[in-house]
């Protein structure tokens, strides 16, 4: 378990897509075990920042970064950092549920099979991992008798919960969520939000959301971003009730964005 009170620390982080600069000198500390929301208008850099934390941005071609990101005290740009190991510690959930077109059971153990020597994967260990992960996301009672069912046949909110469950057997410290409720209806959104609150404390959760009401409901802290810069970072209640920057006030009061 991380002994540092911060799971993520960035210092003077800047990022370019080719000639376009998407982030400008972002320095922030994200608290361990908290839910932190990244908010701001479209194109402000919040998804880019989120994807920096597990270096997914580097999949998109001509990307250059400067500055430092420390995850659990380790600079993730150090030459000895293995991306596979980083992404085990820092899992990601995307906008639309993306379960694999295989059984529920095999979805949950997919990461374990990928990262664990086959001789260590007894049926008992796999079964235990499936039950524990599905219990943690509130799916075990519904799916325990349907583990062979194709995951893509599940309801959307069940698919998104399954995508979260798929991360848990790898024992991540951090879970990144990029608009995880944007494809869901009101009831499904409520279920995912409740799940986030249940997982908080055991995991550090960072969520990108356009939904300010959602940010208020689920996050302990908020980061407001604008034009690639971090404008304000504070407790959620403080940011919404008494923002320190006039640009934050203008945004949350709907004057732009």
Q: Which segments within 47-111 are labelled E, that is strand?
A: 63-71, 74-75, 90-93
Give per-residue pLDDT as tens, 102-136: 999 999 999 999 888 888 999 999 999 999 999 99
For residue 255, pLDDT beyond 60: yes
Task: Give the CB-side neighbour count of residue 56, counting CA atoms within 13 A.
Answer: 17
3-state secondary structure of 116: coil
Question: CA 203, 235, 39, 225 torsion: positive or negative?
Answer: negative
For residue 181, pLDDT beyond 70: yes
Over range 157-166, report the average pLDDT: 97
Q: Measured between alpha carbons, how far is 54 from 76 in angstroms, rounded to an integer?
A: 8
Q: What are phi and psi of 210, to 5 degrees?
A: -90, -10
Over range 87-91, report the average pLDDT: 94
Percent residues over pLDDT 70 in the chain: 98
Q: Measured between alpha carbons, how far is 27 from 7 in angstroms, rounded to an integer?
A: 14
183 close to 156: Cβ distance less than 8 angstroms:
yes
> How many other β-carbons are positioned within 10 Å of the β-carbon of residue 109?
20
Confidence of residue 4 (pLDDT cuts 50, 70, 90): low
Assign 3-class secondary structure to 143-182.
HCCCCCCEHHHCCHHHHHHHHHHHHHHHCCCEEEEECCCC
The CA distances from residue 83 to 14, 89, 92, 112, in Å, are 20, 10, 13, 16
Over range 147-171, report the average pLDDT: 96
- All structural domains of the chain: 6-98+170-252 (3.40.50.300)
Residue with tokens 């059984």: 103
2 close to 173: Cβ distance less than 8 angstroms:
yes
Over range 140-144, report the average pLDDT: 97
């Amino acid at each position: 378990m991380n002994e540092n009170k911060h799971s993520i620390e960035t210092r003077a982080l800047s990022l370019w897509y080719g000639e376009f600069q998407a982030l400008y000198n972002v320095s922030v500390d994200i608290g361990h075990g908290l839910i932190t929301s990244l908010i701001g208008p479209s194109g402000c850099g919040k998804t880019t920042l989120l994807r920096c934390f597990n270096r997914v941005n580097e999949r998109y071609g001509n990307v250059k970064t400067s500055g430092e990101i420390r995850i659990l005290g380790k600079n993730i740009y150090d030459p000895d950092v293995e991306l596979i190991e980083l992404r085990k510690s820092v899992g990601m959930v995307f906008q639309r549920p993306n379960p694999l077109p295989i059984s529920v059971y095999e979805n949950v153990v997919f990461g374990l099979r990928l990262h664990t020597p086959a001789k260590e994967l007894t049926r008992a260990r796999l079964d235990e991992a499936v039950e524990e992960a599905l219990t943690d996301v509130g799916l075990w009672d519904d799916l325990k008798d349907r583990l062979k069912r194709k995951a893509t046949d599940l309801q959307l909110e069940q698919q998104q919960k399954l995508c979260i469950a798929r991360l848990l057997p790898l024992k991540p410290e951090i879970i990144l969520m990029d608009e995880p409720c944007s494809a869901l209806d009101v009831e499904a959104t409520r279920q995912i939000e409740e799940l986030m609150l249940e997982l908080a404390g055991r995991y550090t959760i960072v969520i990108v959301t356009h939904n300010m009401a959602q940010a208020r409901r689920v996050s302990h802290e908020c980061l407001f971003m604008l034009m690639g810069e971090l404008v304000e970072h504070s407790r959620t209640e403080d940011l919404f009730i008494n923002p320190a920057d006039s640009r934050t006030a203008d945004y949350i009061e709907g004057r732009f964005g």
